[in-house]
């Protein structure tokens, strides 16, 4: 494994452990040249899932792109990186359980919003505002109002 800091091939594994969901192995490595440490993950490779975008173009599903969008929604919010990765894992698991080679970006967005709604309402509204492309303040207000109604319904149960 090449060191991401100095490009040396002289690296060694100093610790290995299974991830929380037992779907990957996290390896802690140390470079023999610069002594810096870094982590790598080994996971099984699923069949490539294609995401069908709104304009009907297709691109390979990319978890890092999904995490990037979630991170933007959660900026300056009390949401840990572990929670963000958990959201991405839950979404990916649901996509894989569909058993399809193609999934619409709309479906993925809905899955993310459902997860964020439970995790952090502000992050949810941020994600929804980009995902649903609110055109005006009224549509933004309606989304917040529906979120409030959902929360009020949870209390009444």
Residues in CB range of 11: below 8 A, 6 or more apart:
1, 2, 3, 29, 30, 31, 32
Ranked by mean pLDDT, the top range of 2-6, 43-47, 94-98 is 2-6
pLDDT in tens, 2-14: 999 999 999 999 9
On whether residue 30 sits in a domain, the answer given is yes
Residue carrying structure tokens 């929380």: 20
Task: Please indicate, yes or no, whether residues 65 and 127 belong to a single structural domain of this protein.
Answer: yes
Quote the strand ranges of the chain, DSSP E. Answer: 11-18, 24-31, 37-43, 50-52, 58-60, 102-104
**Structural domains counted in the chain:** 2
Statement to judge: residues 118 and 86 lie in one domain: yes
Q: What's the confidence (pLDDT) of residue 144? A: 77
Could you tell me if 27 and 54 lie in one domain?
no
114, 139, 135, 134: which is closest to 124 by C-alpha? Answer: 114
Q: What is the mean pLDDT of residues 56-70?
A: 93
My answer on whether 36 and 57 are in the same domain is no
Q: Structural domain of residue 31, as residue ranges?
A: 11-43
Same domain, 39 and 64: no
């Amino acid at each position: 494994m090449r060191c991401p800091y100095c490009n040396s091939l002289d690296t060694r594994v100093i610790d290995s452990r299974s991830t929380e969901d037992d779907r990957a192995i996290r390896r802690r490595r140390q470079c023999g040249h610069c002594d810096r440490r870094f982590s790598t993950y080994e996971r099984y490779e699923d069949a490539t899932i294609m995401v069908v975008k709104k304009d009907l173009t297709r691109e390979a599903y990319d978890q890092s792109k999904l995490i990037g969008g979630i991170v933007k929604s959660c900026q300056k919010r009390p949401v840990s990186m572990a929670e963000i990765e958990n959201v991405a894992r839950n979404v990916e698991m649901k996509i894989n359980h569909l058993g399809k080679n193609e999934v619409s970006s709309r479906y993925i967005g809905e899955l993310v919003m459902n997860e964020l709604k439970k995790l952090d309402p502000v992050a949810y509204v941020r994600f929804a505002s980009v995902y649903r492309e609110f055109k005006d303040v009224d549509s933004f207000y309606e989304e917040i109002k529906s979120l409030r109604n959902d929360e009020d319904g949870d209390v009444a149960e």
